[in-house]
Structure 1
Amino acid sequence: MRFADVQLVTPSFATIAAKQVNTVIGRTERTDIPIPYGAANCTPGRLPELRPATVVAHVDTGSGQPHRVVFELPHPDPLLARLLRDECSQFLVEQTASIAFGEEWTETGTGKDAVMHAVLVVTRRGPGELELREVGATSHYDVRVADDPPGVLPAGAQRLEVPVRLTPSRCDGHSFGEAKKAFMFPVRASLDGGEVRVVIVMPPKPVQDRLIRYAQRACGLGG
């Protein structure tokens, strides 16, 4: 049996075009097939409940044209529940304020004492108080801030700036070729004293390239 394409269908995520997979399924108990999914359908003001999901596929059994089959996923699926929670938590925070790195990045020191300095900028979008609880590290970079917790955007304020210091958390040369999550900085924040939610903040690609070169120099790997 061969899968020609697969598609995730659920009210919790936007439906996108089926992915062509051309995967042959042998006589095994389990075969994992990656399935792309669309943006989460989030609800203003609250986290939505996960809705049931199906996988729609076209299957070729060797007896003619591929035919359409629908597989119901056990509900609630824990992976989809986590993805929905993570995306909609970020959505709720970003209704109140945007969180992004500023444009200026400055390197000080040399060798193992080199530090990259930047500013995390919180800009008002909607009502409410936003408290930054933590600016987290990534797989490749440690982060330090002057205050713990990093800062608060009061209900009447329009902007908050939090200076951050980045240093490499690992110096094996092989790691720089596999830096898929190196630049996904988790920022934990709460709205009006409520539940802590996570926003993933990423610098733009030119800054990512600069950070790799900085880390290579700091680690004595050239660059």
Structure 2
Amino acid sequence: MPPVAGIEAEAVQLRTDAAVGGQVQVRVTDTGGEPFTVTSVAIDSPGFAPLPDRVVDAAYAPGQTIDLPTPFGEVVCDRAAEPAAARLTVVRPDGAGEVLRVPLAAEDLTEIHADTCGARAALAVAGVTVTGLAVDGEAATGSLVLTRTGDDDRAVTVTRLEGNVLYGTGADLPRTLEEGAASLRVPVEFTMARCDPHALAEVKQPYRFLLGVQVGEDAEVPVDLPLEQAQRDVLFALVDAACR
């Protein structure tokens, strides 16, 4: 993809983007000698389903960089994320407008694609659920259950379960769903990591917990622990039980 004179673009996932989900910043820089205005932006990548252009109003001076929050579409795992482009509608000082495909430095976008497709592949071998979650004193306890979902008989190892700013986790890991076994059940516990008002008010993803999963000899992949609304309600109730 040929470069576009005077414009460079990079996809960057900030912490706030990860919290919101489904978006990155398209970091556009005016590398030329003339100002311009960007009035719409979209990500053009074979590894993501296309979305309509997002309307923006960002005026650039020479040398200026502005981040444009930009959603990305559903991940397409049988295609690579790169080469990628930022599709920009650019208006010049004389009022002339044009749609440009600016080569997009997409390391963060490629990582999102790889993590999403790795998780899908692992969960196609063994699904993950949480069962029996209930508040027990100052903890919420239940079971982490792996259930084989297809014909792939390889061993599946749960390597780790990470807490977040608000909640800590406890589980006897790593544990392995042995080759050919149908299911694995592991007791799991959630506790409060923080009870201060700032953490309770500002946490962006209170119910996001990362599970490490390894299928056979493949590399470990991060998987979001699936929690239904009723289970999130249990964790919400834990705040009252443990943070009095």
TM class, shorter-chain normalised? 0.7 to 0.9
Q: C-alpha distance in 2, partners of 1:182/1:73? A: 32
Q: C-alpha distance in 1, partners of 2:55/2:129? A: 35
Amino acid in the other structure paired with 2:100:
V
Equivalent residue, structure 2, for 1:91: 120
Determine which of 60, 82, 91 is the counterpart of 1:60: 91
Deviation per residue, 1:35-61 (Å, 9 max, x gap):
111122214xxxx75421000021233
* SS of alignment partner, residue 51 of structure 1: coil
Equivalent residue, structure 2, for 1:72: 103
Equivalent residue, structure 2, for 1:13: 48
Equivalent residue, structure 2, for 1:135: 161
Q: Please list every run of 5 or more consecutive structure 2 residues that lacks an aligned counterpart in the other structure.
A: 1-35
Q: C-alpha distance in 2, partners of 1:217/1:83? A: 36
* SS of alignment partner, residue 32 of structure 1: strand
Equivalent residue, structure 2, for 1:108: 136
Q: Is the 8 A contact 2:45 2:81 kept in 1?
A: no
Q: Is the 8 A contact 1:183 1:202 kept in 2?
A: no
Cα RMSD between the aligned structures?
2.1
What is the CA distance between 1:131 and its match in structure 2? 1.0
* SS of alignment partner, residue 129 of structure 2: strand
- Change beyond 3 A, Cα 1:172–1:202: farther
Q: C-alpha distance in 2, partners of 1:94/1:154? A: 15
Equivalent residue, structure 1, for 2:237: 213
Aligned residues: 207
- Change beyond 3 A, Cα 1:100–1:21: farther
Equivalent residue, structure 2, for 1:174: 198
Q: Please list every run of 5 or more consecutive structure 1 residues that lacks an aligned counterpart in the other structure.
A: none
What is the CA distance between 1:174 and its match in structure 2? 2.0
Percent pairwise identity: 23
- If the length of structure 1 is used for normalisation, what is the TM-score? 0.83
Equivalent residue, structure 1, for 2:149: 125
Q: Is the 8 A contact 2:133 2:234 kept in 1?
A: no
What is the CA distance between 1:24 and its match in structure 2? 3.1
Equivalent residue, structure 1, for 2:58: 23
Q: Is the 8 A contact 2:48 2:72 kept in 1?
A: yes
Q: Is the 8 A contact 1:171 1:216 kept in 2?
A: no
Amino acid in the other structure paired with 2:108:
L
Deviation per residue, 1:57-94 (Å, 9 max, x gap):
212336446421221123xx321121122111101111
- If the length of structure 2 is used for normalisation, what is the TM-score? 0.76
* SS of alignment partner, residue 93 of structure 1: helix
Q: C-alpha distance in 2, partners of 1:24/1:186? A: 39
Equivalent residue, structure 2, for 1:51: 82
Equivalent residue, structure 1, for 2:170: 144
Equivalent residue, structure 2, for 1:157: 181
Q: Is the 8 A contact 1:4 1:66 kept in 2?
A: no
Determine which of 39, 54, 61 is the counterpart of 2:74: 39
* SS of alignment partner, residue 155 of structure 1: coil
In terms of fraction of residues, the more strand-rich structure is 2
Deviation per residue, 1:127-181 (Å, 9 max, x gap):
1221111122122111111x231x2222322222221000011111122223322
- Change beyond 3 A, Cα 1:61–1:209: farther
Q: C-alpha distance in 1, partners of 2:111/2:37? A: 30
Q: Is the 8 A contact 2:195 2:243 kept in 1?
A: yes
Q: C-alpha distance in 2, partners of 1:49/1:71? A: 18
Q: C-alpha distance in 2, partners of 1:159/1:8? A: 40
1:82 and 2:111 are equivalent in the alignment: yes
Q: Is the 8 A contact 2:134 2:234 kept in 1?
A: no
